Structure 1
Amino acid sequence: MNKILIGAIGAAALALSAPASAADLAARPYTKAPPPMIAAIYDWSGFYIGINGGGGSSHKCWDFVSPTLGTLVADGCHNAVGGTVGGQVGYRWQSANWVFGLEGQGNWADFSGDNIGTFIGARRDRSKIDAFGLITGQIGYAWNNVLFYVKGGGAVVADKYSVFIAPGFAGADTLLASTDETRWGGTVGAGFEFGFAPNWSVGVEYDHIFLGHRTLTFNTPTGATFQSYRIGQDVDIGLVRVNYRWGGPVIAKY
């Protein structure tokens, strides 16, 4: 009897000292899978303001209006070239990859040039553009933070014209007559822009301005009527632009 009791007690002690089974262990904590990669999409929508600078050339051809011959007589052409700096302000909105916009731009300019008159060789015809402005609409296509666009609209240019005695003649470089005008025309252009930060972009742009022909009356320094010229011109401009934009933040897409 004692042997049986001692055996039962030993078996119970052995059972109590055995390790816990797998079912008795605590469950492993659940670990959430990491979120998928986020792709950033650049949004071009919003108001923007910026500065620009570059250069341009205005091709001008002068025709002498002859009162005796009753016709136009070619007096030569020249390119008025120089630098420009200015600013722009506008608004863009984006739909899928398409970007639409409106913009106003104003620039100071110093495009100047001259030629010796081919009809009256003793004269030097000179022209200068002091300023120009553009009011345009835009349509573009965006690849995330890269935008290509075309533009078109109206343009205005501030012109000055002068006639001097040509070099090699008595009184060379003496001003004979001058005039100025504000000429309106049309413009087309294209640009490429890169968004290098959520609200900043840099780009390059080309614009062509169509200004047609205008007949202008020149006056002497004393105010007397000198003579008339018909002057035709167009302008080509290349610019580097930097813009700061409000609104239209970068959008995160899963």
Structure 2
Amino acid sequence: MKKVLLVTASLIALAAVTPASAADLAARPYTKAPPMVAAVYDWTGFYIGVNGGWGSSRSSWNSVAPFLVGGEGSHDADGGTVGGQIGYRWQSGGWVFGLEAQGNWADFKGSNNSLLFPGFVNTSKTEAFGLFTGQIGYAWNTTLLYFKGGAAVTSDKHRINSAATGALFASSNDDTNWGGTVGVGLEWAFAPGWSAGVEYDHLFMQDRTVNFTSPAGALVASDRINQDVDLVTVRLNYKFGGPVVARY
């Protein structure tokens, strides 16, 4: 009888211990959660885009020998512009470097009455311009602030008209003028590959002597013309390549 009671007690004790032991064996060890990964925009890659906005070209005319020498005054040639750009950027840390070529059609027109030759109106029109620049900027993820500088070229036309009738008195050949440019821009990447921005540029164009001929072909005037241009454009770019990189 005692042996039966001892066996029974042993079985009861074993039954009480077994579930707890099974639970201990099934418990999973604690593992640390992996670190979070942040998606950061990468500005590296080729891009192409369009732009449009407003520009103002300021021209100062000075008559030179062999004609009467003196200042004829200045005027602003204002109007709209539309064009495109293509470039490449590469990013190192937060710094972004780039090269870009931009070409625009323009319609900047203006005039003033000549201070030296009463009765005549001097007119200027900028029909196109191009920019070839390097860039340096700093990116805060999808926001990029950059500065640019390089070479600029404009395509201009100059006319002298009668103040009384508006008839053409003399014109120049189409004038291609080279100079330099500096600018600043702010760009925001709003979708994978896509970015939009606003940019300001100032063009320092070289002084040059422009000869004017009458409709009959006779040389009737020569002016030393000084020109600079201010531009404000809105830009839309598409960048080729992966839009983000993973960083811990």
| TM-score, normalization by structure 1 | 0.89
Rg larger for? 1
Structure 1 gaps of 5+ residues are none
Letter of the 1:140 counterpart: G
Q: Deviations over 1:103-160 (max 9, x none)?
A: 0000011000011111112011111000000001111112222211111111110000
1:181-220, aligned counterparts within 5 Å? Answer: 181-220=175-214
Q: Distance in 2 between matches of 1:192 and 1:20?
A: 73
Give 1:178's aligned residue.
171
Q: Distance in 2 between matches of 1:41 and 1:244?
A: 17
Superposition deviation, residue 230 in structure 1: 1.4
Q: Distance in 2 between matches of 1:20 and 1:108?
A: 91
Instruction: Kindly report the root-mean-square deviation, in angstroms, between the aligned alpha carbons of the 2 structures.
Output: 1.8
Residue 101 of structure 1, aligned match among 94, 98, 101: 98
Identity, % of aligned positions: 54
Describe the shift of the 1:24–1:94 C-alpha distance in structure 2 as closer, same or farther (beyond 3 A): closer
Other structure's SS at 1:99 match: strand
Give 1:147's aligned residue.
144
Give 1:12's aligned residue.
7
Q: Which moved more, 1:17-26 or 1:145-154?
A: 17-26
Q: Distance in 2 between matches of 1:12 and 1:217?
A: 125
The count of aligned residue pairs is: 243
Superposition deviation, residue 100 in structure 1: 1.0
Residues 67 and 221, structure 2, Cα contact 8 Å, conserved in 1: no
Describe the shift of the 1:68–1:8 C-alpha distance in structure 2 as closer, same or farther (beyond 3 A): closer
Superposition deviation, residue 66 in structure 1: 4.6
Other structure's SS at 1:221 match: coil
Structure 2 gaps of 5+ residues are none
Give 1:235's aligned residue.
229
Give 1:43's aligned residue.
42
Residues 56 and 83, structure 1, Cα contact 8 Å, conserved in 2: yes
Residues 178 and 218, structure 1, Cα contact 8 Å, conserved in 2: yes
Q: Deviations over 1:186-225 (max 9, x none)?
A: 1111111112223111111111111121111112223332
Residues 66 and 73, structure 1, Cα contact 8 Å, conserved in 2: no
Q: Distance in 1 between matches of 2:123 and 2:87?
A: 35
